[in-house]
């Protein structure tokens, strides 16, 4: 039973974990509402896994408090364990067993009778696109298949709270999209998901709220919109009809919007980073720019308004980039072959002019 039925899924205050001299988690305050995906975004070594392990009762905090659905993770660890499931950064299924064998075994360990365990295994393998691989040993799975069987194993019993620790690190774009669809499906069934990621576009795609952590501390928290708004107003991307007019367009945008203007490799394209310091909205600034270009006789074939990427958010918050192996925002990490929208984090609303 939940002592506080309306308690948030997770609430931490001043959470601390030290390993010797290293304060891996250094006073983390988090509130995760139920029924959503909450993103914890941070580079290598930021303290993501350590935080998750404390919340999942696998590590004892050295300081502060953490509650899961109102249960204290130290004093009420059994109650927490009954409500949560963890898909670790390093998968925990048995390499030598097949997909089916793994899921049936884990189902039996969770107390399901054999027919029920077998049915649930088949159902999950089907839902995760692993039916064909069901009778192969997991050691022969690809990275993407492996990640999917690991998530399947963690939702054999539908948990109230699922921790997904970097569920797509190292996956190709297609497998990432598949995992994202799985996460969306899990949340649609009412599970709260705490997702850690180093991928800015992943948090952007999945999470309602995001905490950015760096060196064991939360350095920003809010909705994606709030985070982006705290950094900049976005940018206007313009394509002209006539490449000869690009210098005029560049001068005009710079003077009018007080924007930083970048010339694209495409000789008719340029991008103006909008000024966040004015009270004008990004749309108003863009509209003004188009009016002035038209008045100056510069024909615009196409323009789009883009929000700042989360990568830019991180840079603005920390003064350094994400420092991860893949420090890009992942905008090129989509393959567009599987019918998903395939957008990166720089969401553009295309408008033909
Ligand atoms: N068991 C441990 N013993 C000693 N130091 C540890 C231990 N676990 C983590 N650390 C250290 O704590 C810090 C945070 O590590 P953590 O694994 O939580 O980071 P992370 O954000 O999950 O990083 P990654 O993105 O690489 O998974 C790092 O400096 C790490 O070296
Ligand atoms: Mg980690």
Query: What CATH number corresponds to the domain at position 272?
Result: 3.30.70
Residue 44: C-alpha distances to residues 50, 224, 305 (Å) = 12, 21, 32
Domain end among 229, 255, 286: 229
Domain assignment present for 334? no
Domain end among 195, 229, 263: 229
Residue 15: C-alpha distances to residues 38, 216, 257, 313 (Å) = 17, 10, 44, 24
pLDDT at 320: 67
| pTM of the predicted model as reported, rounded to 2 decimal places | 0.76
Q: Do 214 and 84 sit in the same domain of this protein?
A: yes
pLDDT at 85: 87
Domain assignment present for 144? yes
Q: Do 151 and 252 sit in the same domain of this protein?
A: no
Residue from 350, 337, 130 nearest 237 by CA = 350
Say how far apart CA 13 and CA 61 lie, in whole Å.
Answer: 11
71-72 vs 63-68, strand pairing mode: antiparallel
| Positions of the chain with pLDDT under 70 | 1-4, 88-91, 231, 233, 276-277, 309-310, 320-353
Contact in structure between 88 and 154 (CB atoms under 8 Å): no
Look up the CATH number of the domain holding residue 30: 3.40.50.300
Q: Do 184 and 278 sit in the same domain of this protein?
A: no
Q: Please identify, by atom number, the ligand 1 atom nearest to the C-alpha of residue 46.
A: 21
Say how far apart CA 133 and CA 137 lie, in whole Å.
Answer: 8
Domain assignment present for 1? no
Interval between CA 185 and ligand 1 midpoint (Å): 30
Q: Which ligand is nearest to the CA of 212?
A: 1
Q: Do 193 and 274 sit in the same domain of this protein?
A: no
Total domain count for the chain? Answer: 2
pLDDT at 324: 45
Q: Do 157 and 254 sit in the same domain of this protein?
A: no
Residues in contact with ligand 1 by the CB-under-6-Å rule are 19, 22, 24, 42, 44-50, 89, 198
Q: Do 86 and 219 sit in the same domain of this protein?
A: yes
Report residue 135 as tokens: 């009778």
pLDDT at 269: 94
Q: Please identify, by atom number, the ligand 1 atom nearest to the C-alpha of residue 43.
A: 25
Domain assignment present for 320? no
Residue from 345, 351, 280 nearest 315 by CA = 345
Q: Looking at ligand 1, which residue's alpha carbon is closest to its atom 12?
A: 24
Count of residues in the chain = 353
Could you report the per-residue pLDDT of 200-214, keeping only the tens digit for each? 888 888 999 999 999
Q: Which ligand is nearest to the CA of 197?
A: 1
Interval between CA 165 and ligand 1 midpoint (Å): 12
Domain assignment present for 125? yes
Q: Do 85 and 176 sit in the same domain of this protein?
A: yes
Domain end among 195, 210, 229: 229
Domain assignment present for 85? yes
Q: Do 145 and 265 sit in the same domain of this protein?
A: no
Structural domain harbouring 292: 235-306
Q: Do 262 and 203 sit in the same domain of this protein?
A: no
């Amino acid at each position: 039973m939940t002592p506080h039925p309306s308690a948030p899924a997770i609430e931490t205050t001043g959470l601390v974990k030290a390993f010797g001299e290293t304060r891996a988690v250094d006073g983390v305050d988090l509130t995760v509402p139920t029924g959503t995906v909450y993103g914890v975004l941070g580079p290598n070594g930021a303290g993501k896994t350590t935080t998750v392990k404390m919340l999942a009762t696998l590590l004892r905090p050295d300081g502060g408090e953490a509650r899961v659905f109102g249960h204290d993770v130290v004093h009420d660890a059994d109650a927490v364990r009954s409500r949560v499931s963890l898909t670790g950064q390093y998968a925990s299924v048995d390499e030598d067993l097949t997909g089916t064998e793994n899921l049936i075994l884990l189902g039996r360990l969770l107390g399901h009778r054999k027919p029920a365990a077998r049915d649930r295994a088949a159902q999950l393998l089907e839902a995760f696109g692993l039916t064909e691989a069901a009778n192969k040993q997991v050691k022969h799975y690809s990275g993407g298949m492996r990640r999917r069987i690991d998530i399947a194993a963690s939702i054999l019993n539908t948990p109230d709270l699922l921790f997904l620790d970097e569920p797509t690190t190292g996956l190709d774009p297609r497998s990432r999209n598949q995992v994202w669809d799985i996460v969306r499906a899990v949340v649609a069934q009412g599970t709260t998901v705490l997702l850690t990621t180093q991928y800015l576009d992943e948090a952007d795609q999945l999470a309602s709220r995001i905490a950015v952590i760096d060196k064991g501390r939360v350095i920003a928290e809010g909705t994606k919109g709030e985070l982006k708004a705290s950094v900049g107003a976005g940018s206007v991307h313009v394509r002209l009809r006539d490449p000869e007019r690009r210098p005029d367009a560049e001068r005009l945008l710079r003077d009018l919007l007080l924007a930083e203007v970048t010339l694209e490799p495409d000789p008719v394209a340029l991008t103006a980073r909008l000024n966040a310091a004015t009270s004008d909205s990004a749309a108003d600034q863009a509209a003004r720019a188009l009016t002035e270009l038209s008045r100056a006789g510069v024909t615009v074939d196409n323009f789009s308004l883009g929000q700042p990427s989360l990568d830019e958010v991180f840079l603005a918050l920390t003064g350094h980039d994400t420092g991860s192996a893949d420090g890009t925002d992942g905008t090129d990490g989509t393959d567009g072959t599987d019918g998903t929208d395939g957008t990166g984090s720089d969401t553009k609303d295309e408008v033909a002019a």
